[in-house]
Amino acid sequence: MAIPANDGIPNLVKYAFNLPALVNGQAGLPHPTASNGDLTLTFQPLQTDLTYTVEASTDLANWSGTGVNTSVNAGVETASYAIPGNGPAFLRIVVAPDP
């Protein structure tokens, strides 16, 4: 896994979000927001040769797409997840080459 900018972002993820490989890309990544009991992540799946899947977790160990609702509007995808009770919730985007 190539990470030439030493920013912790693999080149596949940089390609997926159209970030330059040799520059720290942290600021250009999608960031979740919490509002009204939901955790929301909005991003633009820019590459047609990749699959973008959003998964949720309450413990950072077990991830699933269950409970994640997605919608697309004008090429922008929004994923939301109802935060269970007052517990923690996390979202991640899994990026993979199309088979």
Q: Is the pTM of this model over 0.85?
A: yes
Among 54, 40, 43, 50, which Cα is nearest to 16's?
A: 50
Alpha-carbon span 36 to 38, nearest angstrom:
6
DSSP element (H, E) containing 59? none
Please give the Cα distance from 94 to 55 (Å, whole number).
7
Mean pLDDT score of the chain, rounded to an integer? 92
CB-based contacts of 4: which residues, under 8 Å, 6+ apart? 11, 21, 22
Q: What is the pLDDT of residues 51-81, one digit of tens each?
A: 999 999 999 999 999 999 999 999 999 999 9
Hey, where are the domains in the chain? 37-99
Note the pLDDT of residue 65: 97
